[in-house]
Chains A and B, each alone.
Chain A
Amino acid sequence: MNNGAGRRINGGAEEDDDEDDVNGDLDAWERTYTDERSWESLQEDESGMLRPIDNQALYHSQYRRRLRSLLSTAARIQKGLIRYLYIVIDLSRNALDLVDGYLNQIPSYGHREVLILYSALSTCDPGDIMDTIQKCRKSKIRCSVIGLAAEMFICKHLCQETGGTYSVALDESHFKELILEHAPPPPAIAEFAVANLIKMGFPQRAAEGSISICSCHKEAKVGAGYTCPRCKARACELPTECCVCGLTLVSSPHLARSYHHLFPIAPFDEVTSSHLNNPNCKLQRNCFGCQQSLLDPGNKPGPAVVCPKCKWYFCLDCDIYIHESLHNCPGCDSLRHS
């Protein structure tokens, strides 16, 4: 049940990943029996002895590959943070024309994108598809396609012309990976969106007992709403556009969620034997983040990573958590900078 056959087709030219998740390449009905197939989690070593597959090292090496490919392309490149993205599930035939019409109305500072989930093996277009593709290209719309069946030339052509990425999913877990690859903002093409100052309001939360007429539900409501700073109308939730004066209303956490794209942390370096033999480096027994022991059962140094800035050592799991979810180095944040 390995995906040995078939290559991954990717606009971004990623290298082949041989060691896929053990359960991810099974069909849905097979997954119900995975718990009983315990023999699959064993493999033979050089002397023919059986040992369990080292999932942690596999997982960590997958993660490092992912990080390297992300960082090599997007180190100090400007990202398009304000995105207007349409996701097309291919039940419509003239999707590109429709999307082009919608995206023409958005402000000039927004980046225009389309993500098409495509599983058919042919297209049925109302006009000349090449004309539509050129129209999208002129409107600066970045089209990406995720194929569920086979690779198609027309999709590849569309993505190449508009600067998007084309990938074909091999199985469910791969499909999830491919979709999530579109979640971080893509590198911005400078001419596509004009830089602009957008006026936004930061409303205060109304006091618990206040009564006012809500502008979205058109009825009186008690407490727990937000007051537009310009026209004082009440909105129920954020982020939204004020119904009365059209001001974009956000709260500062909504903007703060994107800050980790702007201030990424440096990847940690793997600890090599030269690090350990260096008499100057402090011999750290525990991971700085979670206090887990960095020594393996034989009291020899186990696998670890080190932050290039603060020089603290971290375990592999903290490395993954810090770079994928937390986006802060605990070591750097625990040192006062002068």
Chain B
Amino acid sequence: MASAPSKLYADDVSLVVVLLDTNPFFWSSSSLSFSQFLSHVLAFLNAILTLNQLNQVVVIATGYNSCDYVFDSSSDLNRSFENGRMPVMCSSLLQKLEEFLIKDEQLSKEEPEGKIKSSLFSGSLSMALCYIQRVFRSGALYPHPRILCLQGSPDGPEQYVAIMNAIFSAQRSSVPIDSCYLGSQNSAFLQQASYITGGVHHKPQNLDGLFQYLMTIFATDLHSRSFIHLPKPVGVDFRASCFCHKNTIDMGYICSVCLSIFCKHHKKCSTCGSVFGQAQSEVASASDKKRKTPET
């Protein structure tokens, strides 16, 4: 699925797909309140739309139990401007976001304590990529697409495979994934996503000035980025986690059948059941088959 560069508009037209983290478990313990965060983000989205007449913005909310589209600047409902004031965009986005949050909360079930409360980042990332593929297919000219993730929730290890699949697909379609991490720790997923796809990752030091970080780092279109000094990736952590303890390791053992990572030598792989060091013949007639001897 290659994109055709000759179909692009002028250099500085962008489509920004924003993935907004609405995880209530994160926002209830964050120093920045959700409403202050929204005011920064809305001003930023408005600024992107004014940078170029043809710019487009799509917002997908990443919730705790579900994900959904909450805003699309190219849809007809959102295009009317009233007397030059802050357009209809704000009210429609906020309304859809509120509906989404209510629905998301209703889907909550009882969760055991101690689990990592991560949001469904892989779901919204996959939806963003499907939307961008639709833009590539739209026929005539289309803007440069990119994805901006505003995430604060911790990484959910169960989403690792899905997120990596999405990252590689974005890399293949040349869609950069920018990420702005709002939490207190570090997010290895976001760092890897931005590094592999050629986007920018940043963790703002002072969340009160979020709008300034967004404008100076994430508002630039892709063509102009080569002329601007953006934060460089500082020590991206590519170490793997072992499947048995989920610890980060820098040396491990890989099962040659299923590529599971272990920190210690085992006799048998816990994921695929292969016994190591023996030919994996399931048939009981092991006596018929010769043991595989190393070839000289």
Q: Which residues of A contact B (CB under 8 A)?
A: 78, 81-82, 104, 108-110, 139, 188, 190-191, 193-205, 207-208, 229-230, 247, 251-253, 255-260, 262-263, 287-292, 317-318, 321-322, 324-331, 333-336, 338
Task: Say whether, besides A197-B254, A200-B254, A205-B235, A335 and B281 are in contact (CB < 8 Å).
Answer: no
Is the Cβ of B238 less than 8 Å from the Cβ of A204? yes
A interface, over-half SS:
loop
* A199 to B262 CA separation, bound complex (whole angstroms): 9
Number of interface residues of B (CB under 8 A): 75
Which 6 A-B pairs give the minimum distances between C-beta atoms?
A289-B130, A334-B123, A109-B256, A195-B274, A333-B123, A290-B134
Which of B146-154, B218-226, B244-252 is the contact stretch?
Answer: B244-252
B89 at the A interface (CB under 8 A): no
Shortest C-beta distance, B155 to chain A (Å), equals 13
Task: Say whether, besides A191-B289, A257-B168, A325-B1, A197 and B262 are in contact (CB < 8 Å).
Answer: yes
B200 at the A interface (CB under 8 A): no
Is the Cβ of B164 less than 8 Å from the Cβ of A256? yes
Given contacts A81-B258, A257-B164, A290-B133, 14 further A-B contacts (CB under 8 A): A81-B259, A194-B279, A196-B256, A200-B252, A201-B250, A202-B238, A204-B237, A207-B234, A255-B254, A289-B130, A321-B129, A326-B166, A330-B123, A333-B67
Task: Say whether, besides A197-B276, A259-B164, A336-B66, A326 and B129 are in contact (CB < 8 Å).
Answer: yes
In B245-287, the 8 Å CB interface with A consists of: 249-259, 261-262, 265-266, 269, 272, 274-282
B7 at the A interface (CB under 8 A): no
The 7 sampled A-B contact pairs (Cβ below 8 Å) are A198-B253, A288-B127, A289-B126, A326-B130, A328-B122, A328-B126, A328-B166
Residues of B within 8 A of A290 (CB): 127, 130-131, 133-134
Residues of A within 8 A of B162 (CB): 328, 333
Is the Cβ of A262 less than 8 Å from the Cβ of B259? yes
Residues of B within 8 A of A78 (CB): 257, 272
Shortest C-beta distance, B162 to chain A (Å), equals 5
Shortest C-beta distance, A247 to chain B (Å), equals 7
* A333 to B129 CA separation, bound complex (whole angstroms): 13
* A292 to B126 CA separation, bound complex (whole angstroms): 15
Residue of chain A at shortest CB distance from B261: A255
Is the Cβ of B278 less than 8 Å from the Cβ of A194? yes
* A252 to B260 CA separation, bound complex (whole angstroms): 11
* A288 to B131 CA separation, bound complex (whole angstroms): 10
* A338 to B64 CA separation, bound complex (whole angstroms): 12
Residues of A within 8 A of B64 (CB): 336
Residues of B within 8 A of A336 (CB): 64-66, 107, 109, 120
B69 at the A interface (CB under 8 A): yes
Residue of chain B at shortest CB distance from A257: B168
Residue of chain B at shortest CB distance from A254: B238
In B160-194, the 8 Å CB interface with A consists of: 160-162, 164-169, 172-173, 192
Task: Say whether, besides A204-B238, A256-B160, A334-B127, A318 and B133 are in contact (CB < 8 Å).
Answer: yes
Name B265's contact: one of A197, A207, A289 (CB within 8 Å): A197
